[in-house]
Amino acid sequence: MDRLVTGGTLLTMRGDQLGIVDDGAVAIEDGRITYVGEATEAPDPDSTDIVDAEGGVIMPGLVNAHAHTSHTLLRGGAQDVPEIEWMNRALGPLSAQADEADRVAGARLGVLEAVRGGATTLCEYAGEVGTLVAEVYQPLGVGVVAVETINEVPDDRSDLGPRDLYPFDRDQGETALARADNLFEQFGDDPLVTPAYGPQALDMVSPELLETVQRHAEERDTKLHLHTAQGEREAIQIEERYGADESTVSVLDELGIVDDSLVAVHCHGATPAERERLASGGAAMLGCPSSISAIDGIVPPVAEFREYGAAVGIGTDQAPGPGHHSMFREARTAATLSKVEHTDPTALPAWAALRMATVGGARALGIDDEVGTLEEGTRADLIVVETDRLSTAPVVDSPLHTAVPNLVYSTTGREVRDSFVAGDAVLRDGTFVDADPDAAVAVATERANALYERASENWRQADSELVDAVDAGWL
């Protein structure tokens, strides 16, 4: 045994509940969990590294099931605009000026923020995602589902009106597909890296390329991550390209893509019948409530998909708009907005939100045999969260466990004290073991200033409502 984490309230997430153990322990050896249960029954620690979790919660590391962390460099640069403007006129003129070093700096900042808040696995969705894996994830020792963005449209679309069809460049799409294929060779020996395919959205990929990507995913027995029915902008493009009677879900169904290989992201533009069709077809769903509420003014249907029995996870999406990569904050947002959406305070209770942030995300991504729960034989990804802090105290365990709602509704993310990935410490006593967050902030700030300066003229010409806000003295 290499390490024993003991003395805290244990949440295993096993079965279909939280698996609460009042005084629990987890033993780790060679990166795997070898014991989970009562501390009094734990194996003799001998000279093992003992992590005292008294006054805290021991639980699986959080799974950030959908993130574009490279955009963290543009945090604060694209929000408070109409949904139809956000991608092409607010974010686009800035992101189009980002180079590889900018994307790496943004990703490093975002991943460190996510890990500091309890995430041990992120689903990174990006173009040339292999660079981010090699430069950010592998040095930090954090789990990643590496999804290569595949699209056929230009990065800068600020000159297109809402009903102007995006031009498709098949060579661009094929090049991205080749990068996605290469991930399996490049990272096939790294147990912390799970490659996957990311056709960006139905309005950004031709049906011919989408079917090709699906075939490649089937050959490699992996997932197809697709932004699905993600708002008015996409709906207009689908209507113009496929006809007034068609929608994203109807076209996907016709193409034979609604099955258990599909990971449908967002889905707020789908009708209830379409959402049920996705779930009945076996698709998983990933919701990003902070992002979609900020960008679209809509609540993603995570609670609804859960009722259909689908695998549902949550993620932080990108920092421009929602502003963060904190999974505890995302769990709170998911729970509270679902209550508002359904006008029902019992919708998506705290325990359901916690499962979405752990095993739910792992199931949706197809990695729940390794992460998302604490079970003997699984990868030793776990965190210790202090619940005796000003933000989370008091915690009692009778007649109910108040730690459960307090984790969701009261935790800021700064209460995460220790984090282990495959048994290796990434965070101890609130401090990174092998990373320098201050340096990451300094580099990101320097690069952001240079990027905004390069993009300034194009950003003004795109003429989003943020330009008016600046001219009026608000920003």
Output b/e per residue, 190-227; b: 16+ Cβ within 10 A.
bebbbbbbbbbbbbbbbeebbebbbebbeeeebbbbbb
pLDDT range class, residue 45, cuts 50, 70, 90: confident
Q: What is the pLDDT of residue 295?
A: 94
Q: How far apart are CA 353 and CA 332, in angstroms?
A: 7
pLDDT per residue as tens digits for the range 289-338: 999 999 999 999 999 999 999 999 999 999 998 999 999 999 999 999 99
Average pLDDT estimate for 359-368: 98
Q: What is the pLDDT of residue 158?
A: 63
CA dihedral 276, 280, 286, 288 (to 10 degrees): 10
Contact 306, 348 (CB under 8 A): yes
- Write out the two tokens for 311: 């695998």
Q: How far apart are CA 252 and CA 274, in angstroms?
A: 11
Kindly report the length of the chain. 475
pLDDT range class, residue 87, cuts 50, 70, 90: confident
Residues 150, 125, 274, 259, CA torsion sign: positive
Give yes or no for residue 447 having a pLDDT over 80.
yes
pLDDT range class, residue 463, cuts 50, 70, 90: very high
- Write out the two tokens for 44: 């003799």
Give yes or no for residue 453 having a pLDDT over 90.
yes
Residues 310, 331, 145, 447, CA torsion sign: positive
pLDDT range class, residue 420, cuts 50, 70, 90: very high
Give yes or no for residue 250 having a pLDDT over 80.
yes
Average pLDDT estimate for 98-109: 98
What architecture does CATH give domain 62-365? Answer: Alpha-Beta Barrel (3.20)
The domain ranges of the chain are: 62-365
Give yes or no for residue 198 having a pLDDT over 80.
yes
Give yes or no for residue 46 having a pLDDT over 90.
no
Contact 470, 95 (CB under 8 A): no
For the chain, the average pLDDT equals 95
Average pLDDT estimate for 346-365: 98
- Write out the two tokens for 100: 């590889």
Give yes or no for residue 157 having a pLDDT over 80.
no
Output b/e per residue, 36-71; b: 16+ Cβ within 10 A.
bbebeebeeeeeeeebebebbbbbbbbbbbbbbbbb
Average pLDDT estimate for 52-75: 97
Contact 66, 288 (CB under 8 A): yes
Give the residue, 468 or 83, on which the prediction is more confident.
Answer: 468
